[in-house]
């Protein structure tokens, strides 16, 4: 029996090492060499660029940056300077100001609006389309809790959110048992001054300047983000069962009763307000004064009257209200900073380039090759 | 601080748990692996499952685990809760959870609730998936294991039936055949081997491939084993993880007890070899087996860098708190100034309370400032680094087909910080392939010149072979596997059944390749010794007429006993491919009658000396030829031939050894050397004795056995109680083996107690370290003549030992002792008591052994050569140039250690050698002081020889033996190379002047004193001034003490490298433990952090990988922190413009994902792939290593510079857009958009600037990062109508990106932010010349020895 076992298990082939041996001896592993692959990746020999930053290699970059930045800066600066901008503060802090009285006697509940008007003169004519902004200062529209206090679903026309606004809207979520539409602190503090602009022509007559109130909001906001419940028809019915925000004088469906495309949640003034400003001093687009013809300036130089329906209180928090007229260019509104910054940085780069050049000449001429072949 | 450490530790532990590849969680600290576990009073009782005590069996065994293993952590049901529970033990997750929960507090809430959950959910999911995959893999593996089959006894069938492993229970009888894997820990009850032996291969357990002998429980082998009748009751200790210990006893119903010990236990997952069938009873099953309890996962250590990192994380915490406090106070003040603002939401809260709320809000907003995710990133980076280390082809060893193993996953960068390397000598610096080199018997030295010559030729040959033939080697290795199994198959076959000689030939050719190297086996005997041995066989007349009759007889007896000791005093396993010689051949026909041998032996019986037997039996003249008539292979009278003309004629005998060699390259040598003998090769080749192979646990044992075989004292077979030795005279005798007192590191010796086969006396043969044995040998009382002879022998032997050591040989002493019967009886009692006791068995055995090993008679000494590994000296030189101090800690003799140090160029001839050997503490203190004084004043002498020779300031009494010890010796002359070597003591006049240093050599005794608290300081101070320190004769404990001392007191990074079990403690203590997988098993490897196969690998591992890993990780950490600070500061600056209300100008999704996704991969790539210096420069200029270490990439200065830069960049990145968009109609998110984009550009380009190498992978990652960001924000701005409630990203990015101002702002911001760093780097690199060129221009100035001739002819 023993011999039989031996004979059966003994096999000349095994001699050659083809057979991997006994059970449990890790047969498969024994044949395969464990030698690591000699590939560039595994041996960390991938072709590599070795950026050795020395004066010699960096120096051209500095000059190039300088040479590019300075013209850009000059261009930007010139562009910015060509933009016409006019700004007038109508807060009424000063007792001499026309709006002083309105500012002092403010109350949300007053039914009769306080009006005041201010005169100003444009020294230079505004040629192209003029954008009319209202500006607020020290108004923290970016306060964390203020920013959160809105319900996007409600504004998107979601009927359930209309009736049951998000908790985020607290404490402007319900009023007298009814849900507020639109809810939240942002909507509640909607800027509600009305500004009108009159041109006083040479013979003293006031000509009202037509202010376009459509097209001031982003297209996406107007058409995608904000929607009235049940479409734009019969907003009164749609908003039934809701309450107006406490600070508002009129409900949301009466924001622009004349134009159903600009009423309710898709009112552009409202939409613009709802896009909260980044900084405590900000401006928001109010109206657009469109250029009428190519010959006459949009706003000729001369005297103007700004009529204000003063509804919005800012004095309590030391805020300011402004009206801004501005033309815009390809790079936005008037802002000389970018141009100056480009010129400055460009000059610094150029200067540093010169410094590096000196250093380069002084210290080494050896490190000219940036690429060491690996 | 402490807290954080704890948290970190905890975190690591859990990582460890997550990473556990193996089986057992939680991972236990490795340190207790080998420590005996106290389990007194707790025992386990095992009864046969089908035995008579059914009830009892069931009640007892209920508590025992079955053999099914389940290494999975979770099941399908418990996965989610358990995994979550596990994960929430981690600090990082807790931090995220805390933030998420904080966000649920309404007054504090910063983002929508879901968003703060993202990091948490993401991390949890990723890790959960990883855990699930791992667990599944384990599940599959478990299933495979559990369904292995084995044969288990079943009463119903009355036979052994196939059964799955998982169904094996404690108390089952399992029958295993050859080559089967043991399913559970079993007691061996029956073996087909008539002596009750069985062999197991423990490779699966500890990687050792030699066979271990296991024996049937005593008394069991006598009876026929019938499972039914097994009434014994087994008491043994509770399951523990100690592989080397098992204690218990078996008791039968009548109360008789049998002791159980480790050699009765078959361990799970070992393989049965050389035994046809064995039966055992399962005592531990499943998870309670020793194999399973020994499974621990990879090691986790905390690297130095991470410890430094923790401090910086604390700074980040501080920064966070400062920022949050600023916001809180700012908010309070801001709120106080406001009265009824229209934008105020909610009720009036007092400014203080509001500030308090804002504090917490800010913590949520600025959460990324604490780089918790950095820890995860570091882990990932280290995995990447390990991947590359693991795949380095330079660290691959073709011979063993092994790569480097990285067992510790998180200390890669410590490799770049090593300042002290503690190296073992044997097996680490040397090959640990022991070769018998020379010996001294009876005070006469036998230099074995031929043997030495052979070794030289061999090594030269081998080098050539090694260069050209890599494939044959690996193929031969593969063969070895099949051979192993074959040998087993043959084991059951008696030699007679093998008919075909050719088969046997093949067999031989196969095995000679796979068994211990041929080099170790073949020993060319020394002619003189052969001559003397031949007297043994010579006709009595020759001896009687020689003038020094008495002395020669005595000498002859010494020689015989000497070789007998070499042959039997060991634990080697004898095996043969053709026949298992562990089974004593029963059908043995002695060549001559026992009587004859006995008579012959009595002639030189040691006990009968010095008086010669008065009646030497007249030997027949035919005796001599008869003696050397060998089996079937015809006759030739070899020894005579050898004795006559040994100078010119080689000893043909050695061909009987040689003939089997057929490895390429080696084969030619003997033929060339001894051409005339080649003819007789055919005859000699098939001599049966050559088929004997030895497998020893330590290579020097094998070397000695092979040496004794060369002198025809051949160990033929071994069983538990007897040994079979073939004598030079040709006969084979049985040597009854009474006891084996195995080697241990305390006694440093091993002994066997045998009954002398011929005289019948009880004889102790001892083999051990000369330091202990020389003290134990005493001159036997007796005649004056004998006294003189013995003391002469001692003196001579000591002299020889010293010269061996100087040659770099490992020395062993051989001694013997004859016991009187009464004496033996007395000792036997204590020994049996010790053996059978369960408690304190080790101590009792030790004491018993020590009691026996006294008053020994010194027979002689051996010198074993252990050659240096390749490129050791280059590696040490490179390490020294890298300013890494190399210490050698060895158990070897001082002279050996010094010689090795010379050979590996740790020591130069010009070095000042400070040797410390003291007997007491005071002298040690004085000596150290003196050395210290000398070292500090020592001016290296350029001539190299002029090291001042000093008198002996030491008060230490000279140690016994060597007259030179005890006094500090300086300069190389005292330890100069052996006379046979080329003279190298002269000054190397031509070489460049090297920086000579001092080298401290300290021995174990002195080290003990120096390690005392009072002397530690001076010792360390001294060692700091020394180029290297060599500690010889040190115990494993001392090794670890030294490492610990240096590590703790000098606060340096230590690396210990070793290969044997005696290095384990040192490896564990050191910051970085490197194990060398060599000849001595896997214990060192198992406890190491990195396991390499050659010492030379250390060079690339440290100089290249260590350097890279360190700089990569350091830079990555700095970059990571920079990135976080930079980004978080943007949010912080915004607080000044939003009333410190905790608002952010970014969509919360973008904010969270910015760190988590968009910018998370670049740092990882940076940490894995960056190469600050190319590999060839690092290898050629080890100085870089030191530069990295001293310049420290990662120091507080760099940290703060980065923080500063981050602040600057964030200021630029925030305020340029701020001024550009100030007082415009910019919306919140529109304002954030250019800031985010430029931050992304800045962060990515910052890395481009910082990177030293950029590959396509970098490019791809940068593109993907930027691409993913823009894709995400654009998608958000196109599709997110109401998806991210308070913020309104719809249309923001599309609007912004359609405006040129956006790009203008981004470009300006990015350029401005990066300018200073670019400028700084350009200036730095221009002013400080790049190192590569610097080093390549200046020749190396440090460290290395000038090229001198290698010391010692044999060490090259």
Q: At what angle do helices A55-82 and A336-363 cross, to 10 degrees?
A: 160
Instruction: Point out the catalytic residue in the list B172, B185, B206, B424.
Output: B424
Query: Could B1325 and A52 be called an inter-chain contact, meaning their C-beta atoms sit closer than 8 Å?
Result: yes
Q: Which chain B residues are Cβ-neighbours of A146 within 8 angstroms?
A: 343-345
Contacts 24+ apart (CB under 8 A), B1335-1338: B1335/B1177, B1335/B1180, B1335/B1181, B1335/B1183, B1335/B1184, B1336/B1177, B1336/B1180, B1336/B1181
The least confident of A78-92, B710-724, B937-951 is B937-951
Query: Could B342 and A5 be called an inter-chain contact, meaning their C-beta atoms sit closer than 8 Å?
Result: no
Q: Which chain B residues are Cβ-neighbours of A16 within 8 angstroms?
A: 479
The least confident of A92-101, A176-185, B625-634, B1272-1281 is B625-634
Torsion of CA B316, B321, B327, B331, to 10 degrees: 170
Considering chain B, what is the average pLDDT of its residues? 72
* Confidence grade of residue B259 (pLDDT, cut at 50, 70, 90): confident
DSSP secondary structure letter of residue A254: G
Query: Could A52 and B485 be called an inter-chain contact, meaning their C-beta atoms sit closer than 8 Å?
Result: no
**Nearest Cα residue in chain B from A173:** B346
User: What ipTM score was computed for the predicted complex, to two decimals?
Assistant: 0.89
Residues 135 through 194 of chain A touching chain B, CB cutoff 8 Å: 135, 139-153, 156, 158, 166, 168, 170-172, 185, 189
Higher pLDDT, B202 or A187: A187
The least confident of B209-213, B216-220, B322-326 is B209-213
Residues 1304 through 1343 of chain B touching chain A, CB cutoff 8 Å: 1304-1305, 1308, 1311-1312, 1315, 1318-1319, 1321-1323, 1325-1327, 1329-1330, 1333
Q: Across-strand partners of B857?
A: B816
Higher pLDDT, B176 or B1187: B176
Query: How far apart are alpha carbons B1290 and A167 in whole angstroms?
Result: 22
Q: Is the pLDDT of residue B1024 over 90?
A: no
Residues 6 or more apart whose CB falls under 8 angstroms from that of B624 comprise: B537, B538, B539, B637, B640
Residues 6 or more apart whose CB falls under 8 angstroms from that of B256 comprise: none
Over range B1128-1155, report the average pLDDT.
89
With b for 16 or more beta-carbon neighbours within 10 A and e for fewer, the B671-697 pattern comes to: eebbeebbebbebbbbbbbbbbbbbbb
DSSP secondary structure letter of residue B1062: G
Over range B64-78, report the average pLDDT.
79
Higher pLDDT, B207 or A135: A135
pLDDT tens for chain A, residues 1 to 374: 333 333 333 333 333 333 333 333 333 334 467 788 888 888 888 888 877 778 888 889 899 999 999 999 999 999 999 998 999 998 888 888 888 888 887 766 666 778 888 899 999 899 888 999 999 998 988 888 888 888 888 888 888 888 888 888 888 888 888 899 888 889 988 998 899 999 998 888 888 999 998 889 999 889 888 988 877 778 888 888 888 888 888 888 888 888 888 888 889 999 999 989 999 999 999 999 998 888 888 888 889 999 998 888 888 888 889 999 999 888 888 889 999 999 999 999 999 999 989 888 887 555 444 434 33
Q: Is the pLDDT of residue B640 over 70?
A: no
CA distances A114 to A66, A117, A137, A199, B1350, Å, are 55, 10, 21, 22, 108
Query: Could B391 and A37 be called an inter-chain contact, meaning their C-beta atoms sit closer than 8 Å?
Result: yes
Given B1232, B1285, B1326, which is nearest A360 (Cβ)?
Answer: B1326
Query: How far apart are alpha carbons B1287 and A142 in whole angstroms?
Result: 11
Residue A108 contacts B, CB cutoff 8 Å: no
The least confident of B392-396, B410-414, B1221-1225 is B410-414
Given B1142, B1220, B1308, which is nearest A144 (Cβ)?
Answer: B1142
Query: Could A349 and B1315 be called an inter-chain contact, meaning their C-beta atoms sit closer than 8 Å?
Result: yes
pLDDT of residue A353: 92
Chain A: give the shortest CA distance to residue B691, in Å.
Answer: 17
Contact B242, B290 (CB under 8 A): yes
Over range B324-330, report the average pLDDT.
93
CA distances B1152 to B96, B269, B1159, B1214, Å, are 12, 50, 11, 18
Q: Which strands, in side-by-side order, build the sheet including B277-284? A: B159-164, B149-154, B173-177, B277-284, B185-191, B265-266
* pLDDT one-digit tens code per residue, B513-558: 333 445 556 677 777 777 776 666 554 444 444 444 445 667 777 8
φ and ψ of B726, to 5 deg: -90, 130
* Confidence grade of residue B1082 (pLDDT, cut at 50, 70, 90): low
Given A20, A61, A140, which is nearest B1138 (Cβ)?
Answer: A140
Q: Cα–Cα–Cα angle for B38, B43, B47, nearest 5°?
A: 155
In this structure, what token pair is assigned to residue B1064? 């384990």
Residues 1 through 30 of chain A touching chain B, CB cutoff 8 Å: 2-3, 5-6, 9-10, 14-17, 19-25, 30
Q: Across-strand partners of B475?
A: none
Q: Is the pLDDT of residue B329 over 90?
A: yes
Q: Nearest to residue B1122, comparing CAs of B1205, B1196, B1184? A: B1205
Considering chain A, what is the average pLDDT of its residues? 82
Given A37, A54, A278, which is nearest B1227 (Cβ)?
Answer: A278
Q: Is the pLDDT of residue B1271 over 90?
A: yes
Residues 1170 through 1229 of chain B touching chain A, CB cutoff 8 Å: 1171, 1174-1175, 1216, 1218-1228
First and final C-alpha spacing in chain A: 67
Q: Is the pLDDT of residue B1021 over 60?
A: yes
In this structure, what token pair is assigned to residue A321? 């209200």
Contact B472, B664 (CB under 8 A): yes
pLDDT of residue B1240: 95
Query: Could A21 and B481 be called an inter-chain contact, meaning their C-beta atoms sit closer than 8 Å?
Result: yes
Q: Nearest to residue A286, comparing CAs of A317, A318, A308? A: A308
User: Reduced to 3 states, what is the DSSP secondary structure of residue B1000?
Assistant: strand
In this structure, what token pair is assigned to residue B345? 């939401």
Query: How far apart are alpha carbons B216 and B195 in whole angstroms?
Result: 8
Q: Which chain B residues are Cβ-neighbours of A172 within 8 angstroms?
A: 345
Contact B1065, B1072 (CB under 8 A): no
Burial of B1208 (0-12, 13-18, 19+ CB in 10 A): middle
* Confidence grade of residue B796 (pLDDT, cut at 50, 70, 90): confident
Chain A: give the shortest CA distance to residue B162, in Å.
Answer: 17
Query: Could B1290 and A30 be called an inter-chain contact, meaning their C-beta atoms sit closer than 8 Å?
Result: no
* pLDDT one-digit tens code per residue, B338-350: 777 777 776 677 8
Given A24, A156, A341, which is nearest B1281 (Cβ)?
Answer: A156
Query: How far apart are alpha carbons B359 and B1137 in whole angstroms?
Result: 16
pLDDT of residue B1246: 94
Q: Is the pLDDT of residue B3 over 60?
A: no
pLDDT of residue B462: 46
Over range B957-981, report the average pLDDT.
35
CA distances B958 to B464, B805, B916, B963, Å, are 47, 19, 11, 7
In this structure, what token pair is assigned to residue B410? 């998180």
Given A9, A363, A374, which is nearest B1327 (Cβ)?
Answer: A363
Q: Nearest to residue B970, comparing CAs of B1001, B995, B986, B948? A: B948
Given B271, B490, B1322, which is nearest A58 (Cβ)?
Answer: B1322
Q: Is the pLDDT of residue B1235 over 90?
A: yes
Contact B1115, B733 (CB under 8 A): no
Record the pTM.
Answer: 0.73
Query: How far apart are alpha carbons B1203 and B1209 in whole angstroms?
Result: 10
In this structure, what token pair is assigned to residue B867? 């050659």
The least confident of A280-294, B653-667, B1137-1151 is B653-667
Q: Is B522 left (phi over 0), alpha (psi -120 to 50) or beta?
A: beta
With b for 16 or more beta-carbon neighbours within 10 A and e for fewer, the B410-422 pattern comes to: bbbbbbbbbbbbb
* Confidence grade of residue B768 (pLDDT, cut at 50, 70, 90): confident
Chain A: give the shortest CA distance to residue B313, in Å.
Answer: 28
Contact B1011, B1035 (CB under 8 A): no
Q: Nearest to residue B869, comparing CAs of B1307, B414, B399? A: B399
In this structure, what token pair is assigned to residue A99? 């709006």
Q: Which chain B residues are Cβ-neighbours of A285 within 8 angstroms?
A: 1225
pLDDT of residue B518: 53
DSSP secondary structure letter of residue B1001: E
Q: Which chain B residues are Cβ-neighbours of A341 within 8 angstroms?
A: 1216, 1219-1220, 1308, 1312
Residue B493 contacts A, CB cutoff 8 Å: yes
Chain A: give the shortest CA distance to residue B124, in Å.
Answer: 29
Q: Cα–Cα–Cα angle for B489, B491, B497, nearest 5°?
A: 95
pLDDT of residue B859: 83
Query: How far apart are alpha carbons B57 and B44 in whole angstroms?
Result: 12
Q: Is the pLDDT of residue B59 over 60?
A: yes
User: Reduced to 3 states, what is the DSSP secondary structure of residue B38?
Assistant: coil
Query: Could B1282 and A279 be called an inter-chain contact, meaning their C-beta atoms sit closer than 8 Å?
Result: no
Q: Which chain A residues are Cβ-neighbours of B1328 within 8 angstroms?
A: none
Query: Could B401 and A42 be called an inter-chain contact, meaning their C-beta atoms sit closer than 8 Å?
Result: no
With b for 16 or more beta-carbon neighbours within 10 A and e for fewer, the B1112-1125 pattern comes to: bbbbbbbbbbbbbb
Length reported for chain B:
1356
The least confident of B6-20, B33-47, B330-344, B625-639 is B625-639
Q: At what angle do helices B372-390 and B91-102 cross, to 10 degrees?
A: 150
* pLDDT one-digit tens code per residue, B1031-1078: 888 887 888 888 888 888 888 889 999 887 778 788 888 888 898 876
Query: How far apart are alpha carbons A107 and A247 in whole angstroms?
Result: 10
Query: Could A51 and B1251 be called an inter-chain contact, meaning their C-beta atoms sit closer than 8 Å?
Result: yes
Q: Is the pLDDT of residue B29 over 60?
A: no
With b for 16 or more beta-carbon neighbours within 10 A and e for fewer, the B473-510 pattern comes to: bbebbbbbbbbbbbbbbbbbbbeeeeeeeeebeebbbb
Query: How far apart are alpha carbons B168 and B69 in whole angstroms?
Result: 11
Query: Could B1228 and A51 be called an inter-chain contact, meaning their C-beta atoms sit closer than 8 Å?
Result: no
Query: How far apart are alpha carbons B490 and B488 in whole angstroms?
Result: 5
Annotated catalytic residue B424: yes
Chain A: give the shortest CA distance to residue B1252, in Å.
Answer: 5
Contact B1087, B1068 (CB under 8 A): yes
CA distances A294 to A129, A290, B1076, Å, are 11, 11, 90
């Amino acid at each position: 029996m023993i011999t039989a076992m031996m004979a059966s298990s003994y096999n000349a082939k095994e001699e050659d090492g083809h057979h991997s041996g006994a059970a449990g001896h890790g047969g498969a592993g024994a044949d395969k060499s464990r030698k690591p692959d000699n590939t560039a990746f595994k041996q960390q020999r991938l072709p590599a660029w070795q950026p050795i930053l020395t004066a010699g290699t960096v120096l051209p970059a500095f000059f190039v940056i300088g040479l590019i930045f300075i013209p850009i800066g000059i261009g930007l600066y010139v562009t910015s300077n060509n933009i016409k901008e006019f700004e007038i503060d109508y807060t009424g802090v000063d007792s001499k100001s026309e709006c002083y009285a309105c500012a002092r006697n403010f109350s949300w509940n007053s039914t009769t609006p306080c009006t005041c008007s201010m005169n100003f003169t444009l020294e230079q004519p505004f040629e192209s389309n003029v954008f009319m902004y209202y500006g607020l200062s020290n108004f923290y529209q970016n306060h964390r809790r203020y920013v959160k206090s809105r319900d996007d679903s409600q504004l998107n026309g979601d009927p359930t959110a209309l009736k049951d606004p998000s908790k985020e809207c607290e404490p402007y979520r319900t009023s007298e048992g009814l849900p507020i539409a639109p809810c939240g602190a942002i909507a509640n503090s909607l800027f509600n001054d009305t500004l009108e602009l009159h041109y006083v022509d040479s013979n003293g007559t006031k000509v009202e300047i037509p202010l376009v109130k459509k097209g001031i909001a982003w297209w996406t906001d107007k058409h995608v983000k904000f929607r009235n419940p049940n479409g734009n028809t019969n907003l009164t019915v749609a908003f039934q069962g809701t309450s107006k925000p406490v600070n508002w004088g009129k409900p949301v469906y009466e924001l622009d009763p004349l134009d159903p495309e600009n009423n309710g949640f898709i009112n552009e003034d409202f939409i613009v307000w709802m896009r909260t400003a980044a900084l405590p001093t900000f401006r928001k687009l109010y109206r657009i004064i469109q250029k009428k013809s190519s010959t006459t300036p949009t706003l000729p130089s001369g005297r103007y009257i700004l009529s204000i329906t003063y509804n919005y209180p800012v004095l309590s928090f030391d805020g300011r209200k402004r009206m801004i007229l501005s033309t815009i260019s390809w790079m936005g509104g008037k802002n000389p900073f970018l141009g100056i910054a480009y010129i400055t940085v460009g000059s610094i780069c150029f200067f540093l380039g010169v410094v590096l050049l000196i250093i380069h000449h002084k210290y080494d001429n050896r490190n000219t090759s940036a690429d060491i072949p690996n | 601080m402490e807290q954080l450490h704890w948290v970190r530790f905890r975190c690591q532990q859990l990582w460890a748990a997550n990473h556990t590849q193996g089986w057992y969680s939680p991972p236990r600290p490795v340190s207790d692996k080998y420590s005996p576990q106290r389990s007194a009073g707790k025992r386990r009782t095992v009864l046969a499952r089908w035995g008579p005590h059914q009830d009892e069996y069931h009640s007892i065994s209920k508590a025992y685990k079955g053999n099914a293993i389940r290494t999975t952590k979770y099941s399908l049901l418990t996965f989610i809760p358990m995994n979550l529970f596990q994960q929430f033990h981690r600090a990082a997750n807790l931090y995220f959870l805390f933030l998420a929960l904080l966000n649920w507090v309404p007054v504090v809430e910063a983002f929508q609730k879901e968003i703060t959950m993202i990091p948490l959910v993401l991390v949890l999911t990723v890790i959960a998936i990883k855990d699930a995959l791992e667990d599944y893999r384990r599940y599959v593996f478990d299933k495979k294991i559990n369904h292995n089959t084995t044969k288990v006894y079943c009463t119903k069938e009355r036979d052994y039936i196939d059964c799955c492993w998982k169904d094996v229970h404690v108390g089952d009888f399992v029958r295993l055949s050859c080559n089967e894997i043991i399913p559970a820990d079993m007691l061996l009850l029956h073996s087909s081997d008539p002596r009750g032996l069985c062999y197991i291969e423990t490779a699966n357990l500890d990687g050792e491939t030699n066979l271990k002998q296991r024996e049937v429980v005593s008394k069991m082998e006598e009876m026929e084993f019938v499972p039914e009748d097994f009434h014994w009751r087994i008491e043994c200790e509770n399951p523990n993880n100690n592989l080397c210990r098992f204690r218990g006893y078996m008791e039968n119903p009548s109360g008789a007890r049998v002791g159980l010990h480790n050699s009765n236990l078959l361990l799970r997952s070992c393989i049965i070899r050389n035994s046809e069938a064995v039966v055992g009873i399962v005592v531990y099953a499943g998870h309670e087996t020793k194999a399973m309890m020994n499974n621990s996962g990879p090691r986790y250590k905390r690297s130095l860098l991470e410890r430094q990192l923790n401090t910086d994380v604390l700074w980040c915490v501080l920064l966070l708190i400062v920022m949050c406090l600023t916001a809180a106070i700012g908010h309070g003040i801001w709120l106080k100034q406001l009265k009824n603002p229209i934008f105020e939401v909610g009720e009036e809260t007092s400014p203080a309370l509001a500030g308090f709320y804002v504090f917490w809000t800010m913590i949520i907003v600025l959460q990324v400032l604490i780089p918790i995710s950095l820890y995860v990133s570091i882990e990932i980076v280290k995995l990447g680094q390990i991947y590359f280390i693991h795949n380095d082809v330079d660290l691959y060893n073709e011979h063993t087909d092994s790569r480097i193993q990285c067992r510790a996953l998180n200390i890669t960068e410590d490799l770049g910080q090593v300042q002290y390397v503690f190296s073992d000598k044997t097996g680490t610096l040397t090959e640990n392939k022991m070769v018998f080199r020379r010996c001294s018997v009876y005070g006469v030295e036998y230099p074995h010149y031929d043997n030495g010559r052979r070794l030289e030729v061999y090594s030269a040959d081998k080098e050539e072979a090694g260069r050209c033939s890599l494939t044959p080697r690996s193929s031969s290795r593969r063969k070895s596997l099949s051979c192993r199994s074959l040998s087993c198959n043959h084991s059951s076959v008696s030699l007679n059944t093998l008919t075909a000689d050719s088969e046997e030939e093949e067999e031989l050719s196969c095995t000679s390749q796979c068994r211990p190297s041929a080099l170790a086996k073949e020993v060319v005997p020394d002619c003189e010794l052969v001559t003397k041995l031949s007297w043994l066989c010579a006709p009595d007349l020759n001896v009687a007429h020689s003038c020094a009759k008495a002395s020669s007889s005595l000498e002859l007896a010494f020689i015989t006993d000497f070789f007998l000791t070499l042959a039997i005093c060991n634990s080697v396993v004898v095996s043969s491919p053709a026949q298992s010689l562990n089974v004593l051949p029963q059908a043995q026909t002695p060549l001559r009658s026992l009587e004859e041998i006995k008579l012959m032996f009595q002639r030189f019986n040691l006990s009968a000396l010095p008086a010669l037997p008065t009646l030497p039996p007249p030997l027949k003249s035919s005796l001599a030829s008869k003696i050397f008539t060998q089996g079937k292979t015809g006759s030739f009278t070899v020894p005579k031939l050898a004795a006559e003309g040994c100078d010119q004629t080689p000893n043909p005998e050695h061909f009987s050894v040689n003939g089997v060699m057929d490895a390429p390259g080696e084969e030619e040598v003997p033929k060339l050397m001894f051409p005339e003998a080649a003819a007789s090769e055919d005859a000699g080749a098939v001599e049966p004795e050559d088929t004997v192979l030895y497998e020893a646990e330590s290579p020097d044992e094998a070397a000695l056995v092979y040496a004794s075989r060369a002198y025809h004292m051949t160990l033929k077979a071994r069983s538990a109680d007897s040994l079979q030795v073939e004598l030079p005279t040709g006969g084979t005798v049985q040597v009854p083996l009474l006891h084996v007192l195995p080697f241990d590191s305390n006694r440093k010796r091993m002994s066997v107690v045998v009954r002398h086969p011929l005289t019948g006396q009880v004889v102790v043969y001892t083999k051990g370290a000369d330091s202990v044995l020389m003290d134990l040998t005493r001159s036997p009382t007796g005649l004056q003549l004998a006294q003189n002879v013995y003391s002469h022998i001692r003196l001579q032997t000591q002299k020889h030992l010293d010269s061996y050591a100087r040659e770099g040989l490992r020395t062993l002493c051989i001694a013997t002792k004859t016991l009187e019967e009464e004496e033996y009886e007395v000792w036997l009692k204590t020994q049996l008591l010790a053996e059978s006791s369960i408690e304190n068995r080790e101590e009792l055995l030790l004491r018993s052994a020590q009691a026996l090993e006294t008053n020994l008679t010194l027979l002689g000494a051996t010198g074993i050569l252990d050659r240096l590994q390749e490129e050791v000296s280059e590696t040490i030189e490179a390490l020294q140039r890298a300013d890494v101090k190399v210490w050698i800690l060895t158990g070897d003799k001082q002279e050996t250690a010094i010689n090795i140090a010379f050979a590996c160029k740790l020591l130069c001839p010009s070095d000042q050698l400070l040797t410390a050997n003291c007997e007491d503490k005071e002298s040690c203190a004085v000596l150290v002081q003196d050395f210290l004084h000398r070292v500090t004043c020592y001016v290296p002498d350029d001539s190299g020889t002029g090291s001042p020779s000093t008198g002996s300031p030491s008060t230490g009494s000279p140690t016994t033996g060597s007259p030179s010890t005890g006094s500090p010796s300086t300069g190389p002359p005292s330890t100069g190379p052996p006379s046979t070597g080329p003279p190298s003591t002269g000054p190397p006049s031509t070489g460049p002047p090297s920086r000579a240093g001092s080298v401290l050599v300290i021995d174990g005794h002195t080290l003990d004193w120096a390690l005392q608290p009072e002397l530690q300081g001076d010792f360390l101070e001294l060692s700091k001034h020394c180029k290297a320190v060599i500690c010889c004769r040190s115990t494993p404990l001392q090794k670890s003490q030294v490492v610990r001392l240096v590590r703790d007191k000098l606060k340096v990074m230590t690396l210990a490298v070793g290969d044997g079990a005696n290095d384990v403690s040192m490896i564990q203590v050191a910051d970085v433990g490197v194990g060398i997988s060599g000849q001595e098993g896997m214990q060192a490897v198992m406890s190491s952090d990195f396991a390499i196969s050659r010492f030379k690998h250390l060079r690339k591992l440290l100089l290249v990988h260590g350097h890279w890993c360190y700089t990569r990780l350091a830079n990555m950490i700095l970059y990571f922190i920079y990135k976080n600070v930079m980004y978080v500061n943007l949010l912080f600056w915004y607080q000044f413009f939003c009333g410190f209300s905790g608002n952010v100008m970014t969509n919360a999704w973008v904010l969270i994902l910015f760190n988590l996704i968009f910018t998370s991969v670049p740092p990882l790539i940076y940490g894995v792939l960056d190469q600050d210096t190319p590999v060839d420069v690092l290898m050629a200029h080890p100085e870089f290593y030191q530069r990295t270490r001293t310049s420290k990439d990662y120091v507080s200065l760099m940290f703060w510079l980065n923080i500063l830069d981050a602040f600057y960049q964030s200021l630029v990145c925030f305020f340029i857009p701020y001024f550009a968009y100030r007082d415009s109609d910019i919306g919140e998110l529109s304002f954030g958009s250019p800031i985010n984009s430029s931050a992304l550009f800045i962060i990515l380009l910052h890395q481009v600037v910082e990177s030293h190498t950029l590959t396509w992978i970098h490019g791809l990652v940068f593109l993907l990062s930027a691409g993913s960001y823009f894709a995400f924000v654009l998608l958000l701005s196109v599709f997110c109508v109401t998806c991210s409630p308070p913020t309104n990203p719809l249309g923001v990015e599309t609007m912004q990106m359609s405006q040129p101002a956006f790009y203008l702002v981004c470009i300006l911001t990015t350029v401005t932010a990066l300018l200073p760093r670019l400028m700084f780097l350009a200036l730095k690199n221009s002013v400080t010349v790049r190192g590569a060129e610097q080093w390549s221009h200046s020749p190396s100035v440090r460290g290395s020895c000038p090229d001198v001739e290698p010391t010692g002819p044999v060490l090259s």
